A and B are shown apart, each in its own frame.
Chain A
Amino acid sequence: MYTQALNSQDSAAHTAKEDPQAEARFQARIDAEEKIEPNDWMPAAYRRTLTRQIAQHAHSEIVGMLPEGNWITRAPSLKRKAALLAKVQDEGGHGAYLYAAAETLGTSREEMEDQLLSGAAKYSSIFNYPTLSWADIGIIGWLVDGAAIMNQIPLCRCSYGPYARAMVRVCKEESFHQRQGYEIMLALCKGTPAQKAMAQEALDRWWWPVLMMFGPPDKDSQHTESAMRWKIKRFTNDELRQKFIDATIPQGHFLGLTFPDPALKFNDTTGHWDYGDIDWVEFKQVVAGNGPCNRQRMAQRRAAHEAGGWVREAANAYARKRQQRAAMSIAAE
């Protein structure tokens, strides 16, 4: 998801040997559940993995504003519009907390922004799917944010202090997002047959892409081992996916909706829901840039960045003017 970055392999050029004593002390601190803070010694690979992970998480929040922003002007009531505006603002805020946390590792926000805009950095695959109906806004809150919460609650105990603290704030706010989404779904499902059909159609389109948010199955995820050892990640992709499915199926049934998976069945032996095969070819295509909206999202982000250029220039010019005036008035005294 938001931890999809943890699934990509560190490049071979970066496997320089660390001081084994320092590394052992570092691991001992992690094992003792101590938090690692910005100025503490850390292995270069830990710093790199976290920078990539937190930056991708921040990028996901920022790009995630686009699919929902698409419906702000068309929200069906003032109440829904106010809630959606507040939610999209929150996503921007989450991006800001996360960029701030990533910067403590030594990469500037400008560099991270450039990496997003140049396409060098990734963001969550889910935001490359379109929001075609109002029900999609309900689905995003209920399922996309629901999946995000499942992933982010363990991140509140991440070994890196600034990331863990940012996640505490994010998780508090995500709870509003999920509830407002589920309420939209409830209203549609209790509404006219056409509204209910709209809700079902949205679930049919989003269910599988949401399950892909948790990343590839454990057997194909090479990067999990070090992320677990460093306590960046506390649960594997498949564990989190299963937790999410178990929590979500009863909520969907309460709405009277059907999940688009004929293999979905409660397993009395394991106490979990069994589910069908996920189309990992589609996932790889979306991550590689070939999802339904990848090009549109990037074009919108770049356009927004360029269109905001005059604001950044004006702010700099104003700050310079004020500094010069202050210097002149001191000189005049």
Chain B
Amino acid sequence: MTDKSWPLWEVFIRTRNGLAHRHVGSVHAVDATMALHAARDTYTRRGEGLSVWVVPSASITASDPADKDMMFEPTATKIYRHPTFYEIPDEVGHM
């Protein structure tokens, strides 16, 4: 086989319920137009979405799982960022 491998694209779909685009998987395609068609055929055969994004996988910058403590630990100690940190008397009712 002489064909060189096609680039990988990550597929994001926005469902009809108004939530943000969500990652659903990936497809191989030579260009963005073909990636959109392949994504539609592969991931929306049953009305799963109203909008599709395709992004070249190579364009995504991801955090390194090995750094996750350094990246996310600082938020664990800041409990005052959560509403439950604050005491409100019961008489005040729901807030």
| Partner of B30 from A96, A173, A309, A315 at Cβ < 8 Å | A315
A315 touches B42 (CB 8 A): no
In the complex, chain A residues whose CB is within 8 Å of the CB of B8: 103
| Residue A228 is within 8 A (CB to CB) of chain B in the complex | no
Tell whether A70 is near chain B: CB-to-CB under 8 Å.
Answer: no
Query: Which residues 63-103 of A have a CB within 8 angstroms of B?
Result: 86, 89-90, 93, 96-97, 100-101, 103
Interface size class of A (residues with CB under 8 A): 20 to 34
- Give the interface SS of chain B, mostly helix, strand, loop or mixed: loop
Q: Which of B64-85 contact A (CB under 8 A)?
A: 64-66
CA distance A103 to B25 in the complex (A): 11
Q: Which residue of A lies closest to B23 (CB)?
A: A165
The answer to whether the Cβ of B45 comes within 8 Å of any Cβ in the partner chain is yes
Q: How large is the interface on B (under 10, 10 to 19, 20 to 34, 35 or more residues)?
A: 20 to 34
Decide: B45 and A93 in contact? CB cutoff 8 A. yes
Inter-subunit contact B42/A97 (CB<8 Å): yes
Dominant secondary structure at the A interface = helix
Q: Which residue of chain A has the shortest Cβ distance to B38 in the bound complex?
A: A96
Per the bound structure, the CA–CA distance linking A315 and B65 in Å amounts to 36
Cβ A37 vs Cβ B65 within 8 A: yes
CB-based nearest A residue for B29: A315
| 6 chain-A/chain-B pairs, Cβ below 8 angstroms | A37-B65, A41-B65, A93-B41, A93-B42, A93-B45, A319-B30
Q: Which 9 A-B pairs have the closest CB atoms?
A: A319-B30, A312-B3, A100-B26, A315-B30, A319-B31, A40-B65, A96-B42, A100-B25, A110-B5
Beyond the given A315-B6, A319-B34, could you list 16 further A-B residue pairs with CB under 8 A, ordered by the A residue number?
A39-B64, A86-B45, A90-B45, A97-B42, A100-B25, A100-B26, A109-B28, A173-B45, A173-B46, A313-B2, A315-B30, A316-B4, A316-B6, A316-B30, A318-B30, A319-B30
